[in-house]
Structure formats: C-alpha cells, structure tokens
Structure 1
Amino acid sequence: MKTAGGFYRNNPMAGMPCAAVLAPLLTASSPQVIVARMSPFFESPAYLEAVARLEYALVRRDRVAVLTGPLGSGKSTLLDKWTSKLRREGSIVPYLQTPGTFEQDFLWELAIQLKADVGLATTPPELWFQIRERLTTYALEERPVVIVVDHVEEMAPETADLLLTLARLHCGATTGGSLILSVDSVNLRSFDVRLLKMADLKIELEAWSCEDVARFTQTYQDAFPDSRLTLDDAAIQAVSQHSEGLPRVISQILDLSRLAVEASDSQSVTPETVEAIREELL
C-alpha cells in the first residue's frame, strides 16, 4: 500500500499536504480506518433497492438470499444498518461479520448471538445442540430469525456444510427463518454451488452513478460545514471515474481531499487532485 505522502512530496507545487500531514492518518490498513471514522452514511438508490429486495425475501420467507457486489461496494455497511433495524423491530438477527476458519469458531459465535447457554469450553456437538434448541424455541414463539453471514468466501468448507444444514432445517416458510449470505462478486464463481442452488434470491449491490456521487458529495459537505472542500462538476466526474462508483473508494478520496484542502491554501479539489489521490490509494 502506498502512502499518500509520496505524490505530494514529489510534487511540492501541487498545493497538497506532505507526508507529515497524512502519515499519522494512513497507517498499515489505513485509508479504510479514516473512512469508517469520518465519512457520513448515504442512502444511495442502490442501497435502498438492495434493502427493499432483502425485505422482500423476508416477507416471502425465502430460505436463502445472497447479497453480492464488488469489494468496497458497501455490502458490510448495508448489512450492519439493516440488521440493526431488524433488531429494533424485534427480530432475532445473528450477524457473523467474520466467519471463523474452524467449525467451532462459527458455532460458538452463532450460539452466543442466539443467546444460547454456552461457554468457551462447550464442544462442537454441544454447541450445535444448543443452536438447534434456540432456533426451535424461536420458531415456536413465532419470532423471526434472520441469520446474516458476511464475507462467506472466507469460510472453510466445513462451515459451508453447517450453513447448508441450517438452511435445510431451520430456514424457509415452515420455520420463518432466513439465511442471508454476503459474498464479493469476484468470488461468486468459487462460492459453494450447493448454497447457490438453494438461494431463492440473488441481490447485486450496484455501484454508484455520477449523480449518486454528486449527491453524496453534498451530504459529505453538509457533514463538515467548516471544511473548505469544494468540488465542481469536473471534479465530481473524476471521483466517479477513478472510484468506479465504489462507495469505499469515494469516501477515501473525499476524506483525503478534505484533509488536503484543510492543510493547504487551496479551496477546491481538481480532477488532477482526485487522480493523484486515487493513484496513491492503489
């Protein structure tokens, strides 16, 4: 990963901050850390459409629904916001954001979120028994259960077997449960074909259009009224082009642009600035 200081150090006339300004903000995994802390949330049309389709899957009591999209398209953000909403409405929503590599990790996390009576020493068979007991209890109480698993492509094959069993026994119209799986589109071909065949619905989270970027830019500027960040139509088009419409990258570009503007005498972001920042993020 490059640091944003490289371009500015080698181009002192660019009117942008040097490494000393951005280095403390760009740590090992960095630009993402900045985005998570600083960028406002934006309900894009793509986000609203995906949420509507997820809600439709629950109304139909679909057994399995798959949410897919490129890395950085906002799948995890969508699931985080959506699962919080479902919980406020009374649903039981285990949300496994980083599936365990091993069977016991996955079972333990799922059991804990289902409020099962388990501990660190509970064996996999005991975990599985407790999970099934809780799911059966919720079904009898007619409480909807939505099991959400993000980054499914990271799971081990034995964990995929567990998901298949969950879907077959505890999801669908007869039980009221649903299994929502999220996977990067580049990994969809290597995704477990058995789970794909069980999916009643596949939802593609689309990239933002240039108009979406313009609306998010306004939302961003409203969130930081004291900032001098200004983007004209050309700069917005550059953000859209260099980010490929991916919300994570758009946020990174705007975050770094704002820091750059605040640390310089410039009051606007140019397409050249956007291009330089994007190159440094690659």
Structure 2
Amino acid sequence: MYKPLEISKGAEFMPNVNNEEKSLFFMIKDSFTPRQSISPQVYAVLGAATFGLVLILWALLTYGGLVDSLFMPTPTAAANAAVKLFTELGYSEDILITIIRVMAGFVIAAVVAVPLGILIGTYTPVEALLEPIMSFIRYLPASAFIPLFILWIGVDEPEKIAVIITGSLPQLVLMVAVATRKVSGDLIEVAYTLGTSKSAVLWKVILPSSLPAILDAVRMVLGWAWTYVIVAELVGASSGIGYMIIQSQRMLSTANIFVGILSIGLIGLAFDYCFKILQRKLFPWS
C-alpha cells in the first residue's frame, strides 16, 4: 500500500487534477501490483467493459458493411433470430436437452475420475499402473470415436454421453492427480512426525489441501465437456444446440448459428461463476 507521502509526491505531476481523480489514478495504479486484489465492483466493471468492446467491434464490422451479412450477422439480426428461435422453434428445449447431456456425461466422468486422480497423485504404484494409459487416451480425439460409438451403441443418448465421458475422463484424472501431487511434502512429513497414520494422512492432510485445486480442475474440464457434446450433436442428433447449429448451416442461417454459439458461451459462463461461488463458500481460505 502506498504511503500518503508517496501519493502527494506523485501528485506533483498532476497539478490540474482534483483529489478524487488522483485517488482513482493511484487505485488503478495499485491494481497492477502482482497478485493485488481489486474490489468486486471494479472486477465486474472491467469484465463488462470487455464484452462491451467486443459488441462495439461486432457492430462496427457489420453495420459498417466491412463484413457481408452472409458471413456475420448484425447484432440486431442475431437478436431477432434469438427471439424467433425461443418463441417459434422451441430452442429452450434444445438448450435443456444439451445441458442434460453435458451434466449426465460429465457427472459420470467426474465420479470415476476424481477418485482415480487422487489415488494416482497419492500412491506411486497406482501412478505407474494408470497414468501411462490415461496419458495415452488423453491424446485420442473424442470426436474420432463418434463413428465407432454409433456402430456400437447407436445414435441415441448413450452415444452422446459416451463421447463426453471419453473426452472428459482422462483429462480430469490427470488434472486431479497433478492437484493432489502439489500438496506440500513438508506438510505430509509433519503429519507423520506427529504420529498420523497412513490412511489419516490421505483423509486429513492430502484431501483437505488438494480439494480447492481439484474443484478448479473440475470447473476447467466442464468447459471441455461442452465442446464434446456439441461435436456429438453435429452427427446423428435430432435435438440440442449442436443440431440446431448444423441445421442452420444447411439453410445458410448465420444469425441462428451465432445465437447457438453465444448461448453456449453464456451457459458456460453461468456454470463457471457457479463453480467460483461454490469454491469461495466451501474453501474460503483458498
């Protein structure tokens, strides 16, 4: 924090600025200190400003005629398309179906991946047994399995859920393992020195220390799960956001495609903030 002497010293270079503006200047300056926190209000304003700049750029490109409407609709056209999708074409049902698919596949993947990741990050024999195969599967694109899943289990809901599990599970396993390994070795040694048993070290030291990072890993991989479900819905689906997007592409309805993409981003942003709120509630010390 800056001392009053430093503020008054710096203020010599702004003789024509009032005290309130000087205070704002130094508050913004202090905000760029590494790892310096800012107020929630400032955070919200900066975040909204970014979206505002993107909207302004979009408007300049489309209303100014720099980009043909066939390739990029105007904000007004996208808004009109959204109204029509929700009021006439049942787009809310497509959104709900996609959310159910994402959560079903991701919850199954998380229930399996989180315990496996904790075991890999805690016990070296389990790491040697499972980490190589998980690293191998991680590099296999989930979309490449879609033709096989269609042959094996058809084009119904299990196929789309299987794509999400295939893409999410190995990524989450390895990220949870990394989060578990980051627990300080000194903390574990102190626990052993105090007479803590091996099983108690896992439950009372490793898990409480790694849970905030594990929840953060779950939040990150959930974003990837949305990518997998949209890819799955582009092939062999009769509902969902991805299905709406591919149907709009066939009809050259760029505005509908933009609505689909923007709705995915907004839903993902809502999930992201829910995870952040949950993390602050559960782990206020993190």
- TM-score computed with the length of structure 2 as normaliser: 0.23
Query: Which one has the largest radius of gyration?
Result: 2
Greater strand proportion: 1
**Which fold has the larger relative contact order, with Cα–Cα distance below 8 Å and residues 6 or more apart in sequence?**
1
- TM-score computed with the length of structure 1 as normaliser: 0.24
Greater helix proportion: 2
